[in-house]
Amino acid sequence: MKGLSVGVDVGGTFSKIGLVAPDGELLRCVSIPTQPRAAPRDFASRVCAVLDGWRYDSLGLGLAGGVDAATGALLFAPNLKRWIGFPFKREFARRLKVRTVADNDANVAVWGGYAVDLKKKPRCVVGVTLGTGVGGGLIIDGKLHHGATGSAGELGHLTVRAGGAPCNCGKRGCLEAYAGTRGICRIARRVMRRPPSPLTPKALADAALAGVPGARKVWDEYGTWLGIGLANAVLLLNPDAILVLGGVARAGRLVLDPVRRVFAAQPFREPFARLALSAPAERDWGCVGAALLSREASS
C-alpha cells in the first residue's frame, strides 16, 4: 500500500511505533522500552532496527515534553531529562532518508483526532489528553498552534483552584492536579468509603457503571474540574470543537456529562452555544497523529 507513514509515540517508560495508512488506520504497532537513561542515539538505533523492512514514506515523532518543532529537539522533559537538546528530527531524517517531523506528544495526539475523527472540518479546535498527566493541543486555522516559544496548549497547567492541590510541575491548583490519574485517585480516596483495589481510572469507571456507592460522585467531581479548565480555554479561544483523548477519556459519558453541565452553567453563552464536544474511541492517537502529521509536512 502506497502512502504509509510511521508514527513514534515516545513516552517516559515505553514507546510505540506504528505503521499508519493515509486514513489513520493503524496497520501495525510495536512497543519497546524507552530506556531514557541510555543515550538518545541508542534509542534512535533501536527504533530504526524495528523499522527494518517496513515500507513507508515519512515518519513523525511525538515526544513527551516541550519540543522545538523546527529541529525536533526537546526543550524540557521531566521523564527524558538526559535527552534534552538532542536533535531527533535531524537524526531520524539522516538515518532513514525520509521526511521527518517531531512535536510534543499531546500535540500529535490532538492532530490525530482532528484529522481522523473531525476530518479536519473545524478550523479552531482545543484538544486535551487525559492520562497520568493532562496535555493539550491547539488547532487554529486548521494548523497546529505552537505559540511564541513552542509551549502553546499546556492546558494541564491552567490554574483551576488558587492554592489548591500540588502539581508535579511545582505549582498548586493546576488542572492536572485534579484531572490527571493522581487527581482522580485522590478524589476517590476522599469520596469513597471503599475505593477499588487496585485504584485505577478503569476500575473507577467500572464501579460507577456497576452502581458502587460514591463512584459516580468521583466522576462528577473529576468532570467538573475538567469542565472548569476547558471552559477557561473556550472563553479564551472560542473554538468550534473540543476533543477529549487519552486513557481516562475511555470513561466516555462519565467524563463528558459533568463537563457539559459546567458548560451549560456558563453565563456567557455565545462561545458554548454551538461547541462540539467529543471523545473519539481510543486508537493510539500518538502514533496515528505523529504519522499523519508527517504526511501533512510532506504533502
Q: Is 33 in a helix, a strand, or coil?
A: strand
Residue type, 47: V
Q: Which residues contact 170 (CB under 8 A, 6 or more apart)?
A: none
pLDDT for 130 beyond 70: yes
Average pLDDT over residues 290-298: 87
Instruction: State pLDDT tens for residues 47-75.
Output: 999 999 999 999 999 998 889 888 899 98
> Residue 167 gets which letter from DSSP?
-
More confident residue, 168 or 50: 50
Where do runs of H (alpha helix) occur along 4-61? 40-51
Nine-digit cell at 267? 453565563
Burial string for 80-119 (b: 16+ CB within 10 Å, else e) reads beebeebbbbebbbebbebbbbbbbbbbbbbbbbbbbbbe
Please state the pTM of the whole predicted model. 0.94
Pick from 53-62, 166-175, 185-194: least confident: 166-175
Q: What phi and psi, each to the nearest 5 degrees, are found at residue 10?
A: -95, 105
How far apart are alpha carbons 77 and 67 in whole angstroms?
Answer: 9
The reported pLDDT for the residue numbered 1 is 56
- With a pLDDT cut of 70, the percent of the chain lying above it is 98
- Walk me through the domains of the chain, giving residue ranges and CATH numbers: 5-110+284-298 (3.30.420.40), 122-278 (3.30.420.40)
The reported pLDDT for the residue numbered 71 is 86
Q: Which residues contact 92 (CB under 8 A, 6 or more apart)?
A: 44, 47, 48, 59, 61, 72, 100, 102
The reported pLDDT for the residue numbered 69 is 83
Q: Are the beta carbons of 8 and 290 closer than 8 angstroms? A: yes
Nine-digit cell at 285? 492517537
